[in-house]
A and B are shown apart, each in its own frame.
Chain A
């Protein structure tokens, strides 16, 4: 009797702890972000106030209005930046996933000489600091004439994301028992068919998460984009953020407004891809 009571008590305590822990963690994760969202609606005088204004007394859309306003009124070509970001990120993600699936499959399913070295070499290409890369890349791009183009940016982001995608997808393909595919092949499928019917659905979770990572990396990348883009032809949103700074001033409210526009699509996409992530992940339990 008493044992059951302590057991129940412990269970409740654990539950409370779990809830508090989760709540605290989520607060820490979300508050700095929400602070940015809030700032985008506040007049500058309140953001920088001292003593601080904790409860906003005035919320308005001034920063957004200014951002969409004309030249000289604080206007920034947001829609163009948005379009550039979208085209570059989506295309490079799709290509990186295709290339990464091929590569990941090769590593997970084939044995060959020098495999480990090859793998490390591919990964190490990601280890190159952008600083060491950006200038030679710029010179190269200058010669070919693809500076400030979508194509140039897409190429860079594919290269940036491929090692990462290969690695992730390789890990997930390894989770799929070889026997599954072999069974399918015995049933008369070609290796190609076996891949799409058996292995791909199981590894979909991995592909989805690799996709999210690749997309977010391209969507948010700044260092290389600031070098390889120049004008509205290809400037992406992170580079556009710097439009709110000048030599002496920084329009933090305006920056926050643009940041909100950057975050929303990424958030929506992540939320949507979650569905596939869950569907794919449940396969994990099937295999045993």
Chain B
């Protein structure tokens, strides 16, 4: 899969060399831009375009750090602490950006308005904090859709047994209540499970957050006081608890992070899996996945309030406040997120953040039924997606909430008690930091 993606990426570079945005030749001759870019295979194909920008502008890009997202996050914090912020361009993520209030600069004066208008408006909204446009999103938009094993829905014996037990037809689920029924129905531990969910860190709080929203509730009030200790919040948590108790999810699920989930679904032992777009290629690759050829993708199901889950985020690039040549840095950021860059990046699977590129990608995939199905499902989910609450204490709050969610799921605490404890802890955190 990887090799195929890379070779098509190369073809794209070759084909699009002429079409790059109009940059004045040698505009930034002699300028060196120090950049901290996220590492990892999924992200690095784009950096092969950097020499093109260098040739155009005469500037030089010096990649001074290339790490995965979490390591980069630590590094930024250490940089702020040590004052070592002489670099210019950094990878950023919409869920983490609010933590570095002083590090990055407002891009609005640096980037033409028509450029900004080319992005999906919801993404720009999520990239804007306190009126400052902090990130230009790259083609790494993330929202989760429901992957499933198609063969489960073509077996008449299963359909009949399901109907007899639950009183409605077995079909790809459209609500989370159906996901629960079907997961319990499909589960046959220890070899097969109905579904699974991320069980720790920010991941489970994100999953819980979107479920609260789908139930019609809110995680935080407008003043960022906790709002999840409510009926909606309890219903949302109950869903996770019930599945765990019924044995419909792997017993280790509270220790799972994204890689465990992806590998689990690829191993063919999971029926339904809410997961990110980055896995779509992996799941359908016979060298990596046992369910290749048997994967279906549906939009994220809806909660009892009729709202789809849709916790979303995206990667992008920011320019530091202390950068010596912000124009050059912004030009690089613009270049890495322009249409050609997004076309290149999304050709390997990730979702774009520019409206025109969405159209392009959908048109490109017309001949590939699997890809079309993936894109349709994600596009549908993206339409109602929402970002994390814009508070600098988001990550810290998740660290207070997740152990309580786990305690409820594992049965150490009741749902009521766990949510009360979590809400109390988050309330203290906000008060301690003078939020209200």
Chain A residues near B287 (CB-CB < 8 A): 43-45, 62
Question: Is A246 a contact partner of B282 (Cβ separation < 8 A)?
Answer: no
Binds B, one of A70-78, A120-128, A154-162, A176-184: A70-78
Q: How far is the CB of A280 from chain B (nearest CB, A)?
A: 41
Given contact pairs A71-B45, A138-B78, A249 touches B64 in the complex (Cβ within 8 A): no
Interface residues of B, count at CB 8 A: 54
Would you call B66 an interface residue if the criterion is a C-beta within 8 Å of the partner chain's C-beta atoms? yes
Chain A: CB-nearest residue to B82: A142
Name the interface residues of A42-64: CB closer than 8 Å to any CB of B. 43-45, 48-51, 62
Number of inter-chain CB pairs below 8 Å: 125
Q: Are B64 and A250 in contact (CB under 8 A)?
A: no
Decide if A226 touches B71 in the complex (CB within 8 Å).
yes
Shortest beta-carbon distance from A174 to chain B in Å = 42
Interface residues of B in 229-261 (CB under 8 A from A): 258-259
Q: Which interface residue of B46, B83, B288 has the most chain A CB atoms within 10 A?
A: B288
> Any chain B CB within 8 A of the CB of A230?
yes
| Nearest opposing residue in chain B for A251, CB measure | B41
Residues of B within 8 A of A226 (CB): 71, 74
Answer whether residue B165 sits at the interface, using C-beta atoms and an 8 A cutoff: no
- Which residue on A lies nearest to B10, using beta carbons? A72
CB proximity to B under 8 Å, residues A214-246: 226-227, 230-232, 239, 242-246
- Within 8 Å by CB of A142, from B70, B84, B282, lies B84
Say yes or no: is A287 at the interface (Cβ < 8 Å to chain B): no
Residues in B with CB closer than 8 Å to A244 are 40
Would you call A248 and B78 a contact (CB within 8 A)?
A: no
Please tell me if the beta carbons of B266 and A230 are within 8 angstroms of each other in the complex: no
Query: Is A66 close to B, CB under 8 A?
Result: yes
Q: Encode contact with A along B297-318: 1 for CB under 8 Å, 0 otherwise.
A: 0000000000000000001000
Which residues of A lie under 8 Å from residue B81 when comparing CB positions?
135, 138-139
Bound complex: CA A74 to CA B43 (Å): 10
Cβ of B424 within 8 Å of any chain A Cβ, yes or no, is: no
In the bound complex, CA of A239 to CA of B82 (Å):
21
Asked if A247 is at the interface (CB within 8 A of a chain B CB), the reply is yes
On chain A, the residues within 8 Å of B78 by CB distance are 135, 138, 227
- Measured between beta carbons, the chain A residues less than 8 angstroms from B70 are 247
Min CB–CB distance A43 → chain B (angstroms): 5
CB distance from B192 to the nearest CB of A (A): 9
A50 CA / B174 CA spacing, docked (Å): 28
- Contact in complex: B66, A231 (CB < 8 Å): yes
Cβ of B84 and Cβ of A147 under 8 Å apart?
yes
B266 neighbours in A (Cβ, 8 Å)? 44-45, 48
- What is the CA–CA distance of A255 and B81 in the complex, to the nearest angstrom? 32
Query: In whole angstroms, how far apart are the Cα atoms of A51 and B3 in the complex?
Result: 28
Does residue A148 face the partner (Cβ distance < 8 Å to B)? yes
Q: B67 in the interface, Cβ–Cβ < 8 Å? A: yes
Of the candidates A74, A139, A246, the one whose C-beta lies within 8 Å of that of B68 is A246
**Cβ of A245 and Cβ of B40 under 8 Å apart?**
yes
Question: Which residues from 260 to 278 on chain B have a C-beta closer than 8 Å to any C-beta of chain A?
Answer: 262-264, 266-269, 276, 278
The answer to the question of B52 belonging to the interface, with a C-beta cut-off of 8 Å to chain A, is no
Residue numbers in B under 8 Å from A247 (CB-CB): 40, 68-70, 93, 142, 258, 315
Residue among A48, A70, A138 having the largest count of chain B Cβ atoms under 10 Å: A48
Per-position contact with A for B58-76: 1 when CB-CB < 8 Å, else 0? 0000011111111100110
Residues on B with C-beta less than 8 A from A143 are 82
Q: Which of A62, A70, A231 contacts B64 (CB 8 A)?
A: A231
List of A residues within 8 angstroms of B102 by Cβ: none
Whether the Cβ atoms of A49 and B40 lie closer than 8 Å is: no
Residue of B with least CB distance to A248: B258
Contact yes or no, B267 A48, CB < 8 A: yes
* Inter-chain contacts of B191 with A (CB < 8 A): 50-51
A84 to B315, CA, bound (A): 30
Find out whether the CB atom of A43 lies under 8 angstroms from the CB atom of B288.
yes
Residue in chain A with minimal CB distance to B6: A73
Given A50-B191, A227-B75, output 8 extra A-B contacts at Cβ < 8 Å. Answer: A48-B264, A72-B45, A72-B48, A242-B68, A243-B68, A245-B259, A248-B142, A252-B263
Instruction: Name 17 A/B residue pairs within 8 A (Cβ), A-sorted.
Output: A49-B290, A50-B268, A70-B6, A71-B45, A72-B48, A138-B78, A142-B84, A227-B75, A230-B67, A245-B40, A246-B39, A246-B68, A246-B278, A248-B258, A249-B258, A249-B278, A251-B41
The 9 nearest A-B residue pairs measured at CB? A246-B40, A72-B45, A250-B259, A142-B82, A248-B258, A230-B65, A142-B84, A139-B82, A73-B6
